[in-house]
Amino acid sequence: MQISRAVYVQRLGFSAVAALLGAIFALPLVWFAFAPFNARAELGLAIPKPFTLANFATVFQNSFAMQALFNSLVQALGGVVFVGTAATLAAYALSRSSVPGKGAVTYILLLFSSVVSGSAAMVPIFLIISAAGLIDTHLAVILVFAGGLLPTAMFILRDFIDAIPRSYEESAMVAGASPLQAFFDVALPVIRPGIVVVVVWAFVNIWGSFLIPFILLRSDNLMPASVAIYSFYSEAGTPIVTLLAAYSLLYSLPVIVLYLFVNWKFGFRFFGGIKS
């Protein structure tokens, strides 16, 4: 039949274009699949012969590089604790209490947070942190990220909590629970998936970002991996490719693992624009 052949050709064409686009997207990353395992890796694409983990061994022995990964962890976890706690409490209050003007609050906060972006806020953030005497501390990075990510986190969580029936907590309170008990014992377990998503989102955002620690930190022993990675350049300014590749892979692992986790647990989709 004529039509089915046309449909068949079209399907084939679509598949070919999809495969080509997928390949184009993969191209800049293919190098990363090989270079970390190649003891003589250069910027060129080459299958490692022999396949080796020597680059990783070298990176693991580099105490500065390991310290940087640890610093990333401190800053990301610190930020996540602040964002997770403050956003959960605030989103719950905005959803369930009768604080006046709560409808407008979320919108105004979102407005501010998208207007005061990284590039516009560089100068005042630096001045505030400097005035608070926090320049060159983990706390500075943690607090700045917490403040910046909170409006979106509250927005996502509030949507999530609004969708949960109030009758859960109401019946608990009818049964004699105090409002706090209703929050901790009834609401919190139900909200947990939403909190997990927000926490993962915040972690990935802080873990991957470069500009804020780059501006606020000075000491080598506080630098997160995103900034410290530039120490894998020789004094002449050329990259030490083998170590950079291995280190980049180590540094990317948490993000990949968290993505797979969210994808497996919830299916990766939108929670109010998951990345800023």
Q: What does the alpha-carbon distance between residue 29 and residue 23 come to, in Å, rounded to a whole number? A: 10
Strand, coil or helix: 44: coil
* 179 is an interface residue for other proteins by CB under 8 A: yes
* 181 is an interface residue for other proteins by CB under 8 A: no
- Which residue lies nearer to other proteins by CB, 30 or 53? 30
**Contacting other proteins within 20-49 (CB under 8 A):** 21-23, 25-32, 35, 42-45
Q: What does the alpha-carbon distance between residue 32 and residue 101 come to, in Å, rounded to a whole number? A: 50
CB 81 within 8 A of CB 148: no
Strand, coil or helix: 233: strand
Segment interacting with other proteins (CB under 8 A) among 11-19, 48-56, 62-70, 189-197 = 11-19
Phi, psi of 270 (to 5 degrees): -90, 135
* 188 is an interface residue for other proteins by CB under 8 A: no
- The β-bridge partners of 239 are 233
Q: What does the alpha-carbon distance between residue 151 and residue 52 come to, in Å, rounded to a whole number? A: 45
Segment interacting with other proteins (CB under 8 A) among 47-55, 56-64, 175-183, 190-198 = 175-183
**Contacting other proteins within 127-166 (CB under 8 A):** 127-128, 143-144, 146-148, 150-151, 154, 166
End-to-end CA distance of the chain: 50
- Which residue lies nearer to other proteins by CB, 182 or 197? 182
* 219 is an interface residue for other proteins by CB under 8 A: no
* 54 is an interface residue for other proteins by CB under 8 A: no
**Contacting other proteins within 221-250 (CB under 8 A):** 225-227, 229-230, 239, 241, 244, 248
Collect all residues with Cβ–Cβ distance below 8 Å to 82 and sequence separation of at least 6: 142, 143, 146
* 89 is an interface residue for other proteins by CB under 8 A: yes
Query: Which tokens in the block code for residue 27?
Result: 């191209």
Segment interacting with other proteins (CB under 8 A) among 50-58, 63-71, 167-175, 189-197 = 167-175
Q: What does the alpha-carbon distance between residue 124 and residue 127 come to, in Å, rounded to a whole number? A: 5
- Which residue lies nearer to other proteins by CB, 160 or 183? 183
